[in-house]
Amino acid sequence: MEQDSVRIFIMGKGYEVPKSLTIMKAMEHAGYRFVRGCGCRGGFCGACGTVYRMPDDYRLMVGLACQTVVEDGMYLTQIPVFPANKATYDVEKLRPGLSDMVKLYPELTRCLGCNTCTKACPQDLDVMNYMAAAMRGDIAKAADMSFDCLMCGLCAARCPAETVQYNIAILARRIYARHVAPRAKHLASRVDEVSDGAFDQALDEVTKLTRAELETLYNERDIEPE
């Protein structure tokens, strides 16, 4: 084996790959062409959840294939889709607090507090504690703590209580943003102005300017200080 390469096992088959690669690039180096299990390639979409194990370690590890660097002896498989339960709702009719959460996801209360979800999170979120906040009906805290969730599904895949943490989290965030966070008053009044046609004439005029006139206006516009 070359010094700069490592041996990894993709769904049981061994391949030698350069050691600085991410799991995603290593799989492509090995000749795989992704249909599933690959999305944004930048750690934002959660398409490439991967489960792996290292030699002489009984534990299952998880990570995003596009963000995790290969290590010698890594034995891996992808979980590109997880058949998770998703409640449907009209967000406008929901109310903050525990009761709507439990109505939509009764399994929420089955949480055993085992912390497996937190260990499984490739974003290092404190999943168990945002679930605890959701179980107390503390929507603001659940929304805030879960904000960086990519919905990759690894938490749900490992949960012994069979809850779907990431779907509960987005429900909390939508309830929070719709019903708990104060509304933006300046936005509402601007929407009223736009709807009343307050800018229609000015916009109509500006669309009819020549390029030279526009350039003058542009170069002379004042810029709000930073």
Alpha-carbon distance of 199 to 210, in angstroms, equals: 20
Selected binder of other proteins within 133, 157, 168, 175 (CB under 8 A): 175
Q: How far is the CB of 99 from other proteins (least distance, A)?
A: 18
Per CB under 8 A, does 21 bind other proteins? yes
Residue from 30, 37, 31, 36 nearest 16 by CA:
30
The nearer residue to other proteins, 69 or 135, going by C-beta atoms, is 69
Number of residues that bind other proteins (CB under 8 A): 76
Selected binder of other proteins within 133, 150, 159, 168 (CB under 8 A): 150
DSSP bridge pairs for 63: 50
3-state secondary structure of 28: helix
Which element (helix H / strand E) includes 36? none
Task: Give 40's Cβ-side CA count (13 Å radius).
Answer: 10
Kindly indicate which of the ranges 4-12, 51-59, 109-117, 203-211 contains the residues binding other proteins, using the contact rule CB under 8 A. Answer: 203-211
> 68 to 87, contacts with other proteins by CB under 8 A?
69, 81, 86
Q: How far is the CB of 224 from other proteins (least distance, A)?
A: 5
> 84 to 123, contacts with other proteins by CB under 8 A?
86, 88-92, 123
The nearer residue to other proteins, 58 or 218, going by C-beta atoms, is 218
Per CB under 8 A, does 151 bind other proteins? yes
Q: How many CB atoms lie within 10 A of CB 165?
A: 30
The nearer residue to other proteins, 67 or 118, going by C-beta atoms, is 67
Residue from 62, 72, 78 nearest 28 by CA:
78
* Cβ contacts of 127 within 8 Å, gap of 6 or more: 117, 118, 120, 121, 146, 155, 165
Alpha-carbon distance of 194 to 173, in angstroms, equals: 28
The nearer residue to other proteins, 112 or 191, going by C-beta atoms, is 191
Burial 77-93 (b: 16+ CB within 10 A, else e): ebbbeeeeeeeeeeeee
> 29 to 58, contacts with other proteins by CB under 8 A?
29-36, 38-45, 47
The nearer residue to other proteins, 162 or 193, going by C-beta atoms, is 193
Per CB under 8 A, does 19 bind other proteins? no
The nearer residue to other proteins, 56 or 174, going by C-beta atoms, is 174
